[in-house]
Amino acid sequence: MKKNLLKSKLKQIFLKHKLSNKHAELCSSYLIKAEILEAKGHGLARLKMYCDRIKAKVINPKPKIKIKKISSSISYIDADNSIGFVSADIGIKQAIKNAKKTGIGLVAIKKSGHYGLSSFYAEHAVNNKLMVFCFTNAPAALAPHGAKKSLFGTNPICFGVPAGKVPFIYDASTSMINRGIIRRADKLGLKIPYGVALNKKGIITTNAKEALKGTQLPIAGFKGSGLAWMVDILSGVFTGSSHGGKTKDPFDDFSGPQNMGHLFITINPKIFIGNRFDKEMQKNIKLVKKLPKAKGFSNILYPGERKNKTYKKNLNKDISIPKKILREMEKLNAE
């Protein structure tokens, strides 16, 4: 489907679900961007979930978002149970504004929901020549090291920094794969990779439905579990949001809002070494890229390069939409 037509349809769906014109435009743009980046677990496969939660009154389509100034560098946002795209977009822009004033911006967000890819917001910061950290918690999906029950979310870690033409953006969940991939596989009847999840009996499974009932595996064993715990503290405990397995699953739990937390830290990368930073950053990248290549590698890419190539490759292409998701869209548009 042509992107302009798809955006029009998505916007119409969000407007029918009572979002403002501005918020409908924003949410549509982020969903399409996920598809362009081939992060399909964060794209159109989630549209019905957002709409279902709005209908169930656990996402507020008309939020009264409040920004509390703690200091010139620090802001605290009450998202009023808005859709996550909206609160996070406001939050990162506030963090950028704070960092432009003082050299550092710290923004915590509470009462929010799923916000898509962390890289969306990191990109805003690096485009403003800032270094950035983004953290968000998620519903229980990972068992802490030594436990056999899921408690932590797939809690991504995201870091970005200006690096010339293509920004350095590392965005990765603390699980082997993100939960959205498993959700999409379940929706479309696809298998998941071997070794990324266990069924409820603790056996490795490639069945998406069994994986959703079981637990996902963290990256690097106990190290990944520790990172997931760190993000649970930063985006949950620290922001006054849900944590410790209390974040509601957006697909399965409609008993109330998710109350997810987000934390954005923006930093002027030149505060210590001034304009030397840009030169040293380029030197750092060149040193890595000049290393002898391992077998099968013609180039050493830094985080963000592959995603940038994918975006450019797909930017002018039509977006392929599975029939099941097309039917969902038609039904949502008819409501």
Confidence (pLDDT) at 288 = 98
The mean per-residue pLDDT over the stretch 297-319 comes to 97
Q: In angstroms, what CA-CA distances link 211 with 204, 223, 249? A: 8, 21, 14
Nearest to 89 by CA among 79, 102, 98: 79
Contact call for residues 32 and 10 (beta carbons, < 8 A): yes
302 pLDDT more than 90: yes
Tell me the residue type at 207: N
Confidence (pLDDT) at 335 = 77
Task: pLDDT band for 334, please (50, 70, 90 cuts).
Answer: confident
Confidence (pLDDT) at 314 = 98
User: Token digits for 21?
Assistant: 């014109």
261 pLDDT more than 90: yes
Buried b (16+ CB within 10 A) or exposed e, 192-204: beeebbbbeeeee
Determine whether 2 is exposed, middle or buried from the number of CB atoms within 10 Å of its CB (0-12, 13-18, 19+): exposed
Looking at every residue in the chain, the average pLDDT score rounds to 97
Task: pLDDT band for 277, please (50, 70, 90 cuts).
Answer: very high
Buried b (16+ CB within 10 A) or exposed e, 301-330: ebbbbebeeeeeeeeeeebebbeebeebbe
Can you tell me which residue has the tokens 């000049």?
Answer: 290
Q: In angstroms, what CA-CA distances link 27 with 80, 127, 142, 303? A: 17, 20, 28, 25
What are the helix (H) ranges across the chain? Answer: 3-16, 21-36, 47-55, 84-102, 118-127, 179-188, 208-213, 222-232, 276-289, 305-314, 323-334
Q: In angstroms, what CA-CA distances link 112 with 62, 102, 132, 203, 332? A: 13, 26, 20, 34, 23
136 pLDDT more than 80: yes
Confidence (pLDDT) at 170 = 98
CATH for 3-175+218-272+313-334 (3.20.20.60, 3.40.50.150, 3.30.9.10, 3.30.1370.60): 3.30.1370.60
224 pLDDT more than 90: yes
Confidence (pLDDT) at 149 = 87
pTM: 0.94
- pLDDT one-digit tens code per residue, 151-176: 999 999 999 999 999 999 999 999 99
Contact call for residues 284 and 273 (beta carbons, < 8 A): no
Contact call for residues 243 and 233 (beta carbons, < 8 A): yes
The mean per-residue pLDDT over the stretch 297-314 comes to 97
Give φ, ψ of 132 to 5 degrees: -150, 145
C-alpha 250/C-alpha 180 separation (Å) is 11
Nearest to 81 by CA among 258, 250, 240: 258
Confidence (pLDDT) at 36 = 98
- pLDDT one-digit tens code per residue, 44-72: 999 999 999 999 999 999 999 999 999 99
Task: pLDDT band for 216, please (50, 70, 90 cuts).
Answer: very high
Nearest to 330 by CA among 48, 22, 42: 48
